[in-house]
Structure 1
Amino acid sequence: MKHLWKRGGTYWFRMRRPKRFEKVHPPAYLTQPLGTDSKSQALTLIPAIKQQWLAELEARLAGSASTSSKEAYDATLALLKTHNLRPLPAEHLAQASIHDILDRLNQAERLDPSGTSNEFASFMGGIELPDTSVSTLAGKMDRILEPEVRAKNNRQRRVWSAKWLRSSKVFNESVGDKPIVEVTKNDAYSVRRYWQKIVETGRVETGYANKHLGYLKRMIDAFYADLEIDEFENPFDGVRIARKQPWESKQSESRKPEFSPLWIKETIIGSDAMSGLNEEARDIVIICAETGCREAEIFDLPENSILLDADVPHIWIRVEMPDHESDPQANHVSRDIKTGASIRRVPLLGAALDAMRRHPEGFPRFRGNANYYNTVNKYFRDNGLFPSAQHTIGGLRHSYESRMRRLGIDNEERAQLMGHSLRKVRGREIYGDQTDLRLRALYAEMIAFPTSSWQPRSYDKLSSRIDEILEAEGFKLKS
């Protein structure tokens, strides 16, 4: 039987030592008494003994290179796990019960009776944490927090990663790069003072600075969570800029300038002003103008979320998760979205439906990159199409809501079409279903622009149709 050896009257574990461990274990075999003369009982012990041996050898091998490396720590952690122990720094072990301390000591002595190895020390609170620096950690956040980026495409990953790199850069400029385990409360205060000076110059707002202080706190939390250490002190706990600058409370709210309905109709829907723009970019602009969607919600659309043959043609804004395990050959598209409230089905009609029909597979030229923004804004500026120098194409989304608001469409219906949080709109918990897609299409038609081949119905006819649908479902309406 594999790895089972009977010596005298008892069974032993016996396994040929893998060649890669020769440096840390010269004998050709790994042997250990199992303390039983029962073959069935011995067989049940083999898997755990083998796992412990391999974990111990990995720890020795990693420790022989650098005891402060992440690899050495991971190997030591694996060894502790085989003994059902968790990593515990000496100061925390000192506060443990006598029973727990003696249990660790007994296991450590069985592993190394001499008490001189790194493995023995790790059992007794002498585990050495990796010397990962702040800048190195910033570049590894996508691995440590992998679930957060699993659904993101390349563009979204770059944006997500940039915040950790920016925070690390400021830390280095204010304190200097150093290992995470050496970061102190005074370091955190130094970073805060650095941000405070930047805020005072007016280059950034207090909220922006506090976000980046929060990112450093999150990085340190993630570092220890990755090491499976539960008890630690985060120097950035509670460190933030408490008060806004006087100029912040007096400035007007920053909003993207909107476009008038007349400008949209004459520049985007019913003219040749965009004829010099490539077709994908041109049609993304049209769809944004007639749906109020965020630009990335359109140019990142995968083919399977474009539902042109549905009873109500629409696009589905949702998280797209690649599933290479079930179908490794499939051409999956990753896409994250801004918030949970952004998940919605958006009806297509008029110019938006025509534009989407020209691109039933989506917009591969711009999917997963940020080229759309520069391409479109540059074209509009170079051709003098924007109403002012402050305008950007992103203002179309704000214009869409204003068009609904001016027509008197209910705030909650607007929020659902726009992908805003109903909870924030109501100021309380949400109850009830979302508006039916048929009704959303009717609300959208109320503000849609006519095209050469399509004419929206009048407001009165659309309102009557909405009432008919609701009454057919049993809702009581005002007479």
Structure 2
Amino acid sequence: MIRIENMCVDGVELRGRVYYMRFRVPAKYSEVEPRREVNQTLGTREYDEAKARFTLKKRAIFKDWEARLSGVGIGPSHGAYDAAMSLLDDLGISYKPMEALIAGPLNDLLMRVEAAGKHGVGSAVMPAALGAMKLPKTLVSEMPTIIEELKAAEISAKNPRQLRMWRNKYLQAATSFSLIVTDKPMCELTEIDAVAYRKHWKGRRDKGEVTTQYVTKKLRFMRQLVDAFHERFDVPPSQRINPFNGVGIEKLSNESTQEGQKLAFPVAWVQKVLINQVGLDGLNIQARDISTISAECGSRQTEVYDLPPSDIHLDHAIPHVQLKVVEDSEFKRQLKNSASKRPVVLLGAALEAMKRHPEGFSRYRGKDGYSSAVNSYMRENNLFPAIPKGETGRFTLSCTRHTFEDRMGFAKMTNEERAYLMGHSIGKIRGRPVYGSKPDLQIRALYQEMVSFPTASWEPRSIKLLREEIDRVASDLGFRVD
């Protein structure tokens, strides 16, 4: 290799036989670095080794500058805090609060002082090594962006509608807290703040402006923002104090839950309006058929209209749709929970409706608009049934799930059979871990037929015959059914 004396290439300069590192100090760090230029030996005569050492040393120097910025202004920036923690990792030292270090072995404390001292007594790694690094003064209003970055992997499959709904709950929580209490640093939140926030929402609940469930969500979202702050900045578990833990609100004795406020549609109404589509001529065909499929199958409307074409299997021996998480950019969709992942068998009116849309529902897939359009149409045309006497509540299209539950109950289906069709957790029903296999499409089709409505061209078999068929299938598989 040809070496050129005193020539600086990419910050590496040969002087005599030894290489040096040399580069200008960016103006950004002038507050914490008095030098205008870094100029120090790399301690080697080999160019390749010099380049490797230059990269490591320069990275450590920049980390130290970023960390030292934490002492400027009101508190450390996110970058400064991250740099200090990263520099600590480079030294092979885990962060421990000062109280724990003082109470721990003396050798541990001395080792930290010695390791951090290599960067100089003024280095910002020193307070980090000694457990005195302050948390960034991240404001409540900044947390929605941070929690979204933190949960990026978990929400990666959400489509635009789902992401907007997920994002809004934290934006609204942070905004309301800032207005009700104040927009203060997360590390300075206190139990007094949490109680004040609760008091405001409790007052609105007591006036009948919001429900207890609404208030519970507001408190829960703030609790999650505090947990996210701790996770983002790697706060040790023993130091994670969340002032919203244990701050809740009890339901009033005369108050129904939100689920109770949604009433199950009469079965005859579902058959007439949603299955036979009587009175729905003014709705577009996609909205009508989404309503039919969800009502017939007991699925959530979003599970139907978010379907990608690849999960619609009309040519299968048992026509069905597959509900699963989809991460493809064009057809992204995330399910409510893991139990929601399931096949949904198409029979009767649901099959006829799905055949009209073999590629799915492009008008509503991943978008807002279906629920408001259909519910508004129902109300404007007086299609919703009257509230039964003595009942308090309301009807919305999502109430078809409640009616489906009633239909399964009158068909004498077990809780587990209902859960399979509706996408509920079997583990919660059993109260223990789940073992064994789930019912295959053939069994699911028999379950579905038990609660399906007849059409002009198709008639479901009796429940007695369907039970006998389930026993026959199980017997053929080697199971005892007698």
TM-score tier, shorter chain, comes to: 0.7 to 0.9
The one of 83, 88, 93 equivalent to 1:85 is: 93
Aligned 8 A contact 2:324 2:342 in 1: yes
What residue in structure 1 maps to residue 83 of structure 2? Answer: 75
1:332-343 aligned at under 5 Å gives the runs 332-343=330-341
Letter in 2 for 1:358: R
Q: Shift in Å at residue 284 of structure 1?
A: 0.2
Q: Shift in Å at residue 136 of structure 1?
A: 1.7
What residue in structure 1 maps to residue 246 of structure 2? Answer: 239
1:289-300 aligned at under 5 Å gives the runs 289-300=295-306
The one of 324, 348, 354 equivalent to 1:318 is: 324
Q: Shift in Å at residue 377 of structure 1?
A: 0.7
What residue in structure 2 maps to residue 383 of structure 1? Answer: 381
1:412-423 aligned at under 5 Å gives the runs 412-423=416-427
Comparing 86-95 with 123-132, which one deviates more in the overlay? Answer: 86-95
Aligned 8 A contact 2:275 2:292 in 1: yes
Change (3 A) 1:386 1:149: same
What RMSD in Å do the two structures reach over aligned CA positions?
3.4
CA distance in 1 between partners of 2:337 and 2:380 (Å): 34
Deviations 1:174-213 (A, max 9, x none): 4211111221232223223333333433444545434433
What residue in structure 1 maps to residue 363 of structure 2? Answer: 365
Aligned 8 A contact 1:121 1:127 in 2: yes
Comparing 86-95 with 101-110, which one deviates more in the overlay? Answer: 86-95
Answering whether residue 280 of structure 2 is matched by residue 274 of structure 1, we say yes
What residue in structure 2 maps to residue 326 of structure 1? Answer: none
Q: Shift in Å at residue 374 of structure 1?
A: 0.5
CA distance in 2 between partners of 1:53 and 1:70 (Å): 17
Aligned 8 A contact 2:230 2:240 in 1: no
Change (3 A) 1:220 1:407: closer
* SS of alignment partner, residue 85 of structure 1: coil
Q: Shift in Å at residue 27 of structure 1?
A: 5.6
What residue in structure 1 maps to residue 472 of structure 2? Answer: 468
CA distance in 2 between partners of 1:476 and 1:409 (Å): 19
Aligned 8 A contact 2:305 2:365 in 1: yes
* SS of alignment partner, residue 240 of structure 1: coil
* SS of alignment partner, residue 149 of structure 1: coil
* SS of alignment partner, residue 397 of structure 2: coil
Comparing 83-92 with 436-445, which one deviates more in the overlay? Answer: 83-92
Aligned 8 A contact 1:287 1:352 in 2: yes
Q: Shift in Å at residue 56 of structure 1?
A: 3.2
CA distance in 1 between partners of 2:149 and 2:338 (Å): 23
* SS of alignment partner, residue 254 of structure 1: helix
CA distance in 1 between partners of 2:51 and 2:174 (Å): 52
What residue in structure 1 maps to residue 188 of structure 2? Answer: 182
Answering whether residue 130 of structure 2 is matched by residue 132 of structure 1, we say no
Answering whether residue 67 of structure 2 is matched by residue 51 of structure 1, we say no
Change (3 A) 1:150 1:164: same
Aligned 8 A contact 1:141 1:161 in 2: no
Change (3 A) 1:362 1:17: farther
Deviations 1:367-390 (A, max 9, x none): 222311101111111122111263
What residue in structure 1 maps to residue 312 of structure 2? Answer: 306
What residue in structure 1 maps to residue 436 of structure 2? Answer: 432
* SS of alignment partner, residue 410 of structure 2: helix
CA distance in 2 between partners of 1:295 and 1:234 (Å): 40
CA distance in 1 between partners of 2:469 and 2:187 (Å): 65
What residue in structure 2 maps to residue 158 of structure 1? Answer: 164
Q: Shift in Å at residue 472 of structure 1?
A: 0.9
What residue in structure 2 maps to residue 100 of structure 1? Answer: 108
Letter in 1 for 2:118: R
CA distance in 1 between partners of 2:168 and 2:48 (Å): 56
Letter in 2 for 1:240: V
Answering whether residue 457 of structure 2 is matched by residue 453 of structure 1, we say yes
Q: Shift in Å at residue 454 of structure 1?
A: 3.0
Letter in 2 for 1:450: P
* SS of alignment partner, residue 322 of structure 2: strand
Change (3 A) 1:88 1:427: closer
Aligned 8 A contact 1:300 1:368 in 2: yes
CA distance in 2 between partners of 1:416 and 1:238 (Å): 34
Change (3 A) 1:90 1:7: farther
1:29-48 aligned at under 5 Å gives the runs 30-34=39-43, 48=56
Aligned 8 A contact 1:21 1:57 in 2: no
CA distance in 2 between partners of 1:103 and 1:297 (Å): 57
What residue in structure 2 maps to residue 401 of structure 1? Answer: 405
Comparing 157-166 with 450-459, which one deviates more in the overlay? Answer: 450-459
CA distance in 2 between partners of 1:22 and 1:392 (Å): 59
What residue in structure 2 maps to residue 325 of structure 1? Answer: none
Aligned 8 A contact 2:294 2:400 in 1: yes
Answering whether residue 207 of structure 2 is matched by residue 209 of structure 1, we say no
Change (3 A) 1:13 1:57: farther
Letter in 1 for 2:168: A
Letter in 1 for 2:310: N
Q: TM-score, normalised by structure 2?
A: 0.84
CA distance in 2 between partners of 1:134 and 1:318 (Å): 35
Aligned 8 A contact 1:192 1:239 in 2: no
Change (3 A) 1:392 1:196: closer
Aligned 8 A contact 1:21 1:61 in 2: no
CA distance in 1 between partners of 2:123 and 2:285 (Å): 68
Deviations 1:234-288 (A, max 9, x none): 2415432365434348x99714222233222222333552121111111101101
Letter in 2 for 1:148: E
The one of 348, 354, 370 equivalent to 1:350 is: 348
Aligned 8 A contact 1:63 1:72 in 2: no
Q: Shift in Å at residue 30 of structure 1?
A: 5.0
Aligned 8 A contact 1:15 1:31 in 2: yes
Comparing 142-151 with 161-170, which one deviates more in the overlay? Answer: 161-170
Q: Shift in Å at residue 291 of structure 1?
A: 0.4
CA distance in 2 between partners of 1:402 and 1:259 (Å): 10
Answering whether residue 21 of structure 2 is matched by residue 14 of structure 1, we say yes
Change (3 A) 1:144 1:26: same
Q: Shift in Å at residue 405 of structure 1?
A: 1.9
Aligned 8 A contact 1:319 1:335 in 2: yes
Residue identity over aligned pairs, in percent, reads 36
Q: Shift in Å at residue 305 of structure 1?
A: 1.8
Q: Shift in Å at residue 13 of structure 1?
A: 5.7
Tell me how many residue pairs correspond in the alignment: 465
What residue in structure 2 maps to residue 148 of structure 1? Answer: 154
